[in-house]
């Protein structure tokens, strides 16, 4: 009974096993037939799987596109770099006499740490890790070829390098917000060696600059070596395109260097500066402070303030209000008005000196930067609605569309009557520096307003084919050519007139037209900040005035000024230096081609030097071909002769009296006219003998004088002057020799 049952179970098990093996057999047979028919197994080609085992694929690295200036000078490029690594696995060494791993971690750390600028203990900790291979973090990345050579010279066992590339910016802090920066992106192994733009042109044109690696595929043996006489497949690398900017390296260098000096001397919260070609809209230089070095990425502000910082422009806005009034035929520069204050409903508009300058002409109002003059122009002459149309015609209501990322848009504040008038002189309404540059091109370019741009062209580095070419673009004609010329004529007087606020912006040899600005800064508590330094001081100017080739805007926010300095000091330091150097670099001929002969006929009108520093006044007098004579040891000029507005001739002396101790100058060889200037300024009573040039004076040179002292002057004719001086000197020597000795 038990035997039959056991036998029955055995048969049942055999049947089950037979069924299982039969099913497995049929599955294998089906799969075999399927593979034979399709050549595929698990969705992958068997041929490919076999090929992978015997083929090797190697990457051919491509280069990210370079960024260059208008003349082909490199501003950003890929350069070789190296990553330091150390082999710690002893099994890598097969010959004890030729170790391939770190044998002495302590000695190795002591040698490497100083070169890597890291702590010796930290280096030793890395070299004693339980790992086959290690790196040194940020200390060991982006190593230059020179440092690599120094490390290799140490001949440290187990120390090696992985070759890579890094993005390099040869000029450091240089148009940093224009160029931006790029860096390696963390991620997969395939992406880790690729660089991606993170700011500026590097980011906005990343699709052009981005490279694509190539590769080569060849057959290999089981040990990985290439088989001889076999075919290979090569896919060449696709290097990134080269981007040529409109930036001029020379002009940008002028700007960066001067801004560094101003930043160091005046410690302002911000500096913004743009240099443009008004004929084309090309941006030749652009920089801000604070800035950063793209190699170090020491960034504190991620916005390009030149295009991303809208603020109330202040009186530079008056340039465009003036243009609108002239273009509409409602401006009469010789018409008189009462300066000081102007009531609008319950509000009152005041000039910057509060009390004004009495009854003056509108031309003088422009020169003095009178708020009342421009409020009256809009309210009584131009009309608020027509003025708004001109704000739109100058494109203050839209972005310029400059080819840089992050451009912001200002806000035209035009709801209430008072806002419409404050906009006329740059308060309330906010605009960006680049909007001012674009609008000013219309004045500098015969009425045609040019779109600003920084990318000149994009070129394929392998074929040299131009992929993208930017050309100058006229975006509007807000004023006529005749209006533009009239505006230039008036803006020049802002710089040249003794009453003009732009006097500090005179440049030797060149005629400058422009407008100053002193913008208030809104307070977090409401209203505006108060205090001598709490302004944005600016200047928007162009030169040479007769045919402007360069247009420049400079703004300096809250500089630390000395008690005797005005906000024009740091602004003019940037504008004058950069503009003059750039004009000379571009071989633009000086404006002043008058000869001394013609100046003798027409004369030179003197400005007022009262209140200016002695150094500034002396510099200006020399620039006009005159001879400055300083009397006194004070820091500022108190009085002058000839007076402001008087005409003088070339080589004539200009006497500048300062505060402090006053000493008598040496008048010998002076004309009577010049000598009498000194007598008048010092309040002396002159007595003259003879005619011609001074040969003797009764008050000894460099001695102190008092008002009312007598000054006796003896003069001789020019032909006899040298002989007379010799006789006087001989006589003085004889008197000294005969004098008693103490």
Kindly list the distances between the CA atom of residue 70 and the CA atoms of 67, 178, 273, 282, 612, in Å, as whole numbers in the listed order. 10, 14, 19, 10, 40
Write phi, then psi, for 723 (nearest 5 degrees): -65, -40
Question: Residue 701 gets which letter from DSSP?
Answer: T
Residues 58/201, Cβ–Cβ less than 8 Å: no
Sign of CA dihedral 151, 157, 159, 161: positive
The dihedrals phi and psi of 445, each to the nearest 5 degrees, come to -125, 35
* Residue 515 φ/ψ, nearest 5 degrees: -140, 135
Whether the Cβ atoms of residue 620 and residue 495 lie closer than 8 Å to each other = no
Pairing assessment for the beta strands 693-697 and 347-350 based on DSSP bridges:
unpaired
Gap between the Cα atoms of 662 and 666, Å rounded: 13
Q: Which residues contact 16 (CB under 8 A, 6 or more apart)?
A: none
597: left (phi over 0), alpha (psi -120 to 50) or beta: alpha
The Cα 577–Cα 571 span in angstroms is 10
Query: Under DSSP, is residue 449 helix (H, G, I), strand (E, B) or coil?
Result: strand
**Cα 38 → chain centroid:** 66
Question: Which tokens hold the place of 191?
Answer: 């992406």
Q: How many residues does the chain have?
A: 742
Is the peptide bond between 290 and the residue preceding it cis, with omega within 30 degrees of 0? yes
* Other Cβ atoms within 10 Å of 722 Cβ, number: 12
Name the one residue in this structure whose structure tokens are 């401006």: 331
β-pair partners for 361: 336
H-run or E-run covering 443: helix 433-444
Tokens read off for 653 = 């002396």
DSSP string, 246-268: S--HHHHHHHHHHHHHHHHHH--
Q: How many helices (H) and strands (E) does the chain have?
A: 23, 33
**For residue 510, which phi and psi values (nearest 5 degrees)?**
-130, 145
Residues annotated as catalytic are 315
Whether a cis peptide bond, with omega within 30° of 0, leads into 544 is: yes
Give dist(CA 316, CA 551) in Å, integer: 13
Pairing type for strands 336-338 and 685-689 reads unpaired
């Amino acid at each position: 009974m038990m035997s039959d049952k056991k036998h029955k179970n055995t048969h049942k098990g055999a049947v089950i096993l037979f069924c299982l093996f039969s099913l497995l057999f049929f599955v294998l047979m089906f799969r075999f037939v399927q593979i034979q028919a399709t050549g595929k197994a698990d969705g992958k080609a068997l041929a490919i799987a076999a090929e992978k085992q015997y083929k090797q694929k190697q990457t051919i690295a491509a280069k990210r596109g370079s960024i260059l200036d208008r003349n082909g000078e490199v501003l950003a490029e890929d350069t070789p770099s190296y990553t330091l690594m150390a082999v710690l696995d002893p099994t890598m060494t097969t010959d004890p006499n030729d170790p391939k791993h770190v044998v002495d971690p302590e000695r190795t750390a002591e040698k490497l740490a100083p070169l890597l600028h890291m702590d010796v203990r930290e280096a030793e900790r890395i070299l004693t890790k339980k790992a086959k291979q290690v790196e040194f973090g940020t200390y060991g990345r982006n190593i230059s070829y020179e440092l690599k050579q120094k490390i290799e010279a140490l001949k440290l066992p187990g120390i090696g390098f992985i070759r890579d590339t890094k993005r390099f910016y040869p000029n450091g802090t240089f148009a940093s917000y224009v160029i931006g920066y790029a860096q390696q992106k963390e991620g997969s192994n395939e992406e880790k060696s690729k660089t991606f733009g993170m700011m500026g042109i590097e980011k906005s044109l990343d699709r052009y600059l981005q490279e694509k690696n190539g590769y080569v595929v060849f057959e290999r043996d089981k040990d990985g070596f290439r088989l001889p006489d076999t075919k290979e497949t090569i896919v060449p690398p696709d290097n990134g395109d080269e981007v040529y900017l409109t930036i001029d390296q020379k002009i940008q260098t002028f700007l960066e260097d001067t801004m560094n000096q101003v930043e160091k001397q005046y410690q302002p919260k911000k500096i913004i500066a743009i240099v443009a070609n008004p004929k084309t809209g090309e941006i030749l230089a652009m920089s801000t402070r604070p800035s950063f070095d793209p190699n170090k990425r020491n960034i504190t502000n991620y916005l390009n303030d030149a295009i991303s910082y809208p603020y109330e422009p202040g009186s530079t806005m008056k340039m465009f209000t003036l243009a609108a009034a002239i273009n509409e035929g409602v401006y009469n520069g010789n018409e008189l008005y009462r300066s000081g204050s102007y009531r609008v409903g319950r509000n009152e508009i005041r000039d910057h000196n509060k009390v004004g300058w009495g009854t003056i002409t509108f031309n003088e109002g422009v020169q003095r930067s009178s708020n009342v003059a421009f409020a009256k122009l809009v309210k009584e002459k131009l009309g608020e609605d027509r003025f708004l149309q001109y704000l739109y015609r100058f494109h203050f209501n839209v972005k310029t569309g400059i080819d840089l990322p992050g451009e912001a848009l200002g806000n035209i504040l035009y709801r209430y009557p008072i806002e419409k008038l404050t906009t006329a002189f740059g308060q309330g309404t906010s605009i960006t520096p680049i909007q001012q540059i674009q609008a000013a091109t219309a004045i500098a370019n015969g009425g045609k307003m040019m779109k600003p741009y920084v990318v000149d062209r994009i070129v394929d580095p392998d074929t040299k084919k131009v992929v993208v070419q930017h050309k100058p673009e006229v975006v509007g004609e807000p004023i006529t050519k005749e209006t533009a010329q009239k505006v230039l004529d008036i803006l020049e007087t802002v710089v040249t007139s003794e009453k003009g606020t732009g006097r500090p912006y005179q440049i030797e040899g060149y005629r400058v037209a422009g407008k100053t600005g002193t913008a208030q800064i809104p307070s977090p508590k409401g209203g505006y900040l108060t205090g001598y330094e709490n302004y944005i001081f600016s200047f928007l100017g162009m030169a040479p005035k007769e045919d402007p080739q360069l247009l420049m805007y400079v703004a300096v926010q809250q500089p630390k000024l000395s008690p005797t300095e005005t906000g024009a000091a740091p602004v003019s330091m940037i504008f004058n230096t950069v503009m003059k150097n750039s004009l000379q670099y571009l071989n633009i001929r000086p404006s002043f081609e008058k000869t001394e002969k013609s100046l003798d006929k027409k004369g030179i009108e003197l400005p007022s030097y009262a209140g200016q520093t002695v150094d500034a006044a002396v510099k200006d007098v020399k620039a006009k071909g005159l001879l400055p004579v300083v009397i006194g040891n004070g820091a500022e000029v108190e009085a002058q002769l000839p007076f402001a507005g008087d005409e003088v001739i070339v080589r004539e002396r200009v006497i500048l009296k300062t505060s402090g101790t006053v000493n008598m100058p040496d008048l010998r060889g002076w004309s009577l006219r010049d000598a009498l200037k000194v007598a008048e300024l010092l309040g002396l009573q002159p007595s003259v003998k003879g005619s011609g040039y001074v040969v003797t004076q009764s008050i000894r040179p460099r001695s102190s004088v008092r008002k009312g002292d007598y000054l006796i002057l003896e003069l001789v004719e020019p032909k006899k002057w040298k002989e007379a001086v010799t006789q006087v000197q001989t006589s003085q020597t004889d008197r000294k020799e005969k004098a008693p000795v103490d």
